[in-house]
Amino acid sequence: MKTSVISTIALALIAGAITAALLLVDKYPQDLPPAPALQQIPPAPPIGDAIDQFLQQHWAHPLSPQGKPPKHFSHSEASLDPQQCGSCHVAQFNDWKKSLHSQTIGPGILWQLRLMNQEQANACLNCHAPLAEQKALLAMEHQWPNAPASAPPSYVPPQLGHEGLTCAACHVRQHERFGPEPRTASSHNNAPHNGFTVSAAFEDSRFCATCHQFPDDGPRTAGKLREDTLQQWQASAYPAQNQQCQSCHMPDRKHQWQGIHSPAMAQRALNISLARQGNHITTAITNSGAGHHFPTYMVPKVMVQLTLIDANNQRRLLGEDIIGWQVDVALTQETFDTRIPAGATRHFRVELPADVTSEDNIEVRVYVKPREHYERTFLSVLEQSDKLDTTTTNLLQAAYQEATATHFEWVALNKKLATIDGN
């Protein structure tokens, strides 16, 4: 079977992550009986505190269709279109649009959706385009068996399937808005969209876990969960200081979600220093700014290179350290795991050549490949592209180029050998 070889590779990325039975979306909300109000859903047996209980309902996959909007809603109040939310919430829209959360349906996932059946695809969409209305639109586009026959209702814009992780996925259920405690007293008597319901969950790290943390029985390599960010954070000193995911990734409630793709964030994560012992130089690399391992997943790789630069500007590479969790494309074998836990320090030692002088400089350069694991995966599938149709190959090619275009580097230190202290 030509596709099965390839989808095994693709699916391996999260294989087994989603074992729960998935309901397929077969109708638009207008064709369904009115969705029950959230309060009428029989409560799940209480586990954890009020935040856990809110989140169990809020992220109960598959998400229910929104249903018919209240009659008095204007088009812009009813619409699930991020652009419509943005007509009032300008700052959130502008930040979100630049963030990776607005790009979760890109060529990297689209080439894979073409090789999947609807159930497999919906498991991916739970994190990449979670609204029922998005799944329905993508089902129509891929001509999956039970795609809706009718055109979407007016509050579902036709491009919604490609808009990624939209405002409504995090904030809207059955047309009701949910958000954090307002920072200033609300002054709206006649608030748009019937105002909103406050939940403390929005200010808590657990809000992000549904997509950034696999459950304990989720897929593992070398015994480690492939997605483990919340638990890494829980094991760090940050919870005690009330530094939630939002504190670093949504400062001042900004909808930016910058991470390893951002040079400023990557630089902020690391504190690098040098020490000399005789004819050795030790580089100390501390994860002083990330609230989890640096980097948190197997995807990015960070190269730290030490170079000797002499008075004539001749460069000699003394050594390179790779920080990351290196796993093969099939996700069965770990080659190394040099990630640095929050607050921890990694040491990397190189030998100086015999002919160094105290006028020589040592340069520490950091080179980041934010999507290294995907680059390797995409390349290995591209090698079999004779088994793919043209559209799929083109998307895969675009995904590979997009991934390699994310590389960046910076010079972390450049010091005269004479000024490097011993320890």
Interface segment toward ligand HEC; rule CB under 6 A; list 12-20, 50-58, 307-315, 389-397: 12-20
CB of 171: closest distance to ligand HEC in angstroms?
4
**Residue 63 interacts with ligand HEC (CB under 6 A)?**
no
Whose CA is closest to 374, among 349, 393, 399? 399
- Give the end-to-end CA distance of the chain in Å, rounded to a whole number: 61
The residue among 109 and 136 lying less far from ligand HEC, judged by its C-beta, is 109
Angle at the Cα of 400 from the Cα atoms of 398 and 406, rounded to 5 degrees: 105
**Residue 134 interacts with ligand HEC (CB under 6 A)?**
no
Whose CA is closest to 177, among 43, 70, 26, 304? 70
Candidate list 130, 148, 157, 161; residue touching ligand HEC; CB under 6 A? 130
**Residue 52 interacts with ligand HEC (CB under 6 A)?**
no
CB of 353: closest distance to ligand HEC in angstroms?
33
Angle at the Cα of 198 from the Cα atoms of 181 and 103, rounded to 5 degrees: 85
**Residue 22 interacts with ligand HEC (CB under 6 A)?**
no
Site for ligand HEC in 292-321 (CB under 6 A): 292, 294-297, 299-300
CB of 262: closest distance to ligand HEC in angstroms?
6
Candidate list 16, 153, 179, 341; residue touching ligand HEC; CB under 6 A? 179
For residues 146 and 73, what is the distance between their CA atoms, to the nearest angstrom? 30
Candidate list 32, 53, 86, 387; residue touching ligand HEC; CB under 6 A? 86
Continuous H helices in 2-89:
2-12, 50-58, 75-78, 82-88
**Residue 263 interacts with ligand HEC (CB under 6 A)?**
no
Residues paired with residue 284 on neighbouring β-strands, in sequence order: 273, 347
Interface segment toward ligand HEC; rule CB under 6 A; list 42-50, 254-262, 347-355, 358-366: 254-262
Candidate list 9, 51, 165, 395; residue touching ligand HEC; CB under 6 A? 165
Beta strand pairing status for 315-323 and 220-221?
unpaired
Interface segment toward ligand HEC; rule CB under 6 A; list 190-198, 304-312, 326-334, 380-388: 190-198
Over the Cα atoms of the chain, what is R_g? 24
The residue among 266 and 274 lying less far from ligand HEC, judged by its C-beta, is 266
Measured CA distances, 61 to 18, 51, 267 (Å): 10, 17, 36
- Cα 120 versus chain centre, distance: 19
For residues 288 and 282, what is the distance between their CA atoms, to the nearest angstrom? 18
CB of 88: closest distance to ligand HEC in angstroms?
3
Whose CA is closest to 305, among 313, 317, 314, 315? 317
Strand, helix or coil at 307?
A: strand
Site for ligand HEC in 400-419 (CB under 6 A): none
CA 385, 386, 388, 394: dihedral to nearest 10 degrees? 50
**Residue 3 interacts with ligand HEC (CB under 6 A)?**
no
Whose CA is closest to 280, among 348, 346, 363, 351? 351
Type of residue numbered 378: F
The residue among 116 and 281 lying less far from ligand HEC, judged by its C-beta, is 116
**Residue 122 interacts with ligand HEC (CB under 6 A)?**
no
**Cβ count near 149 (within 10 Å):** 10
CB of 53: closest distance to ligand HEC in angstroms?
17
Count of positions on this chain that bind ligand HEC (CB under 6 A): 94
The residue among 149 and 410 lying less far from ligand HEC, judged by its C-beta, is 410
Residue 390 exposed, middle or buried by CB count within 10 Å (0-12, 13-18, 19+)? exposed
**Residue 65 interacts with ligand HEC (CB under 6 A)?**
no
Beta strand pairing status for 345-351 and 315-323?
unpaired
**Per-residue binder mask for ligand HEC (CB under 6 A), 208-227, x = binder:** x-xxx---------------
CB of 23: closest distance to ligand HEC in angstroms?
16
**Residue 84 interacts with ligand HEC (CB under 6 A)?**
yes
Interface segment toward ligand HEC; rule CB under 6 A; list 20-28, 104-112, 385-393, 412-420: 104-112
Site for ligand HEC in 371-390 (CB under 6 A): 374
**Residue 202 interacts with ligand HEC (CB under 6 A)?**
yes
**Residue 183 interacts with ligand HEC (CB under 6 A)?**
yes
